[in-house]
Amino acid sequence: MANIASARKRARQAVKNRAHNMALRSRFRTSMKSVLKAIRAGDQEGATTAYRNAVPVIDSTVGKGLIHRNKAARHKSRLNARIREMGQA
């Protein structure tokens, strides 16, 4: 356990920040899963709507520093490619 007051405060802040980051990461993953679920169901319109809702969530996760911008771009690109693939099949 921390002995110095500033270290105790940092420990408290770390707990709070971790909870906040876990909530944001969970929101990110849920938005991704909603798109994938619609893709698996074969619902292109639902997948497109879910993708449009997921993009701002993914971008805000980048803005908050939880994921790297390249990872976000990769996820958006792959989801969009899978949705476009549905229209061709």
This prediction has a pTM of 0.88
pLDDT tens digit sequence for 22-76? 999 999 999 999 999 999 999 999 999 999 999 999 999 999 999 999 999 999 9
Structural domains of the chain sorted by starting position, each given as residue range(s) with its CATH number in brackets? 5-88 (1.20.58.110)
d(CA 37, CA 53): 14
pLDDT tens digit sequence for 5-20? 999 999 999 999 999 9
Q: What is the predicted pLDDT for the residue at 87?
A: 79
d(CA 28, CA 25): 5
